[in-house]
Amino acid sequence: MSLDTARGVYVIAPTPFHDDGRVDDASIDRMTDFFRAAGATGITVLGQMGEAPKLDAAEALAIAARVIRRAGMPVVVGVTAPGFAAMRALAREAMDAGAAGVMIAPPNTLRTDEQIVGYYRQAVEAIGADVPFVIQDYPLTFSVVMTPAVIRRIVQDNASCVMLKHEDWPGLDKISALRGFERDGSMRHISILTGNNALFLDFEMERGADGANTGYCFPDMLVDVVRLSQQGRRDEAHDLFDAHLPLIRYEQQPGPGLAVRKYVMMRRGIIASDTLRKPGGALSAVARSEVDYLLSRIARVDARAKV
């Protein structure tokens, strides 16, 4: 399968650690199995929410290879790096290990349209034009603003660009614009999967997204929302989505959000510990109790939240 026709949910995988900060292989396996059972169509590892910058090179590759071997579905590997030498090294190793493609976020020094387009051109030169890649478009974190026209230029200039991890905010009109480019023939089709913790997944699907590419602690719910939306069951999709929105919003907070995600995944039995590597701390007792309360409210309508 080519990633440019990917649909459904590519889960952004966290990296499970033991309480002492070592990588927890058993939890990686359990988590990978859970994603498959949940109906995910793909997995993305080594993203920001996978704490990729906190891993050393050997750890990063080992995690990617482990998930790839076990997943039974396409795995995208984040290769964002401060320089092209490190990016190339990880990209080639990941592809050799069986990755379906790589994901590249822009460095926060880029400002102009030309700089952004030029960066992706140089990245493709570095990793090789044979490596399928995903654009990560997340201005809130990376401080780089890509217009629809810039994304189109990257897509048209680079045949190996296969997917957009869309997480601009506000971002609904960007999906409409890109799908409009496809309709008017000025841009070939790519897969658009949306992130930003699914905060707008309900309407993103209606605007033309192919699915989700995020790591909300109930990826099984994301799978259902995407499916309901694709089936045209609008009210049901929104009903399910809205039941989770209070927690989605809580988990979407930069900083503590990842701790929330890991805490719920631990409570759900998917990973053994909610430890984050530094920098990045634990949830306060009051924050945990707030998450517990939100889970209890979701559980009234979604049995998965009875944890």
- The smaller minimum CB distance to a copy of itself, of residues 98 and 246, is found at 246
Residues contributing to the site for a copy of itself (CB under 8 A): 51, 53-57, 59, 82-86, 89, 108, 111-114, 118-119, 122, 125-126, 145-147, 149-150, 169-170, 172-173, 176, 199-200, 202-203, 206-207, 238, 242, 245-246, 249, 253-257, 277-279, 284, 286-287, 290, 297
Show the CA angle centred on residue 205, arms to residues 201 and 207, nearest 5°: 115
- CA 18 to CA 187: how far, in whole Å? 45
CB of residue 176 to a copy of itself, shortest distance in Å? 7
CB of residue 241 to a copy of itself, shortest distance in Å? 8
- From the list 26, 21, 28, the residue with the least C-alpha distance to 11 is 28
- CA 222 to CA 49: how far, in whole Å? 17
Residue 235 burial class via C-beta count within 10 angstroms: exposed 0-12, middle 13-18, buried 19 and up: exposed
- The smaller minimum CB distance to a copy of itself, of residues 88 and 270, is found at 88
Instruction: Give the residue ranges of DSSP H helices in the chain.
Output: 25-37, 57-71, 84-96, 113-127, 139-142, 148-157, 172-183, 201-207, 219-230, 234-251, 256-267, 285-299
- The smaller minimum CB distance to a copy of itself, of residues 134 and 150, is found at 150
Determine how many CB atoms are found less than 10 A away from the CB of residue 249: 13
- The smaller minimum CB distance to a copy of itself, of residues 23 and 272, is found at 23
- The smaller minimum CB distance to a copy of itself, of residues 89 and 307, is found at 89
Identify residue 244 by its one-letter amino acid code.
H
- The smaller minimum CB distance to a copy of itself, of residues 3 and 237, is found at 237
- List CB contacts of 231: < 8 A, sequence separation 6 or more: none
- The smaller minimum CB distance to a copy of itself, of residues 16 and 256, is found at 256
CB of residue 16 to a copy of itself, shortest distance in Å? 15
Q: Is the peptide bond before 170 cis (omega within 30 degrees of 0)?
A: yes
Identify residue 160 by its one-letter amino acid code.
S
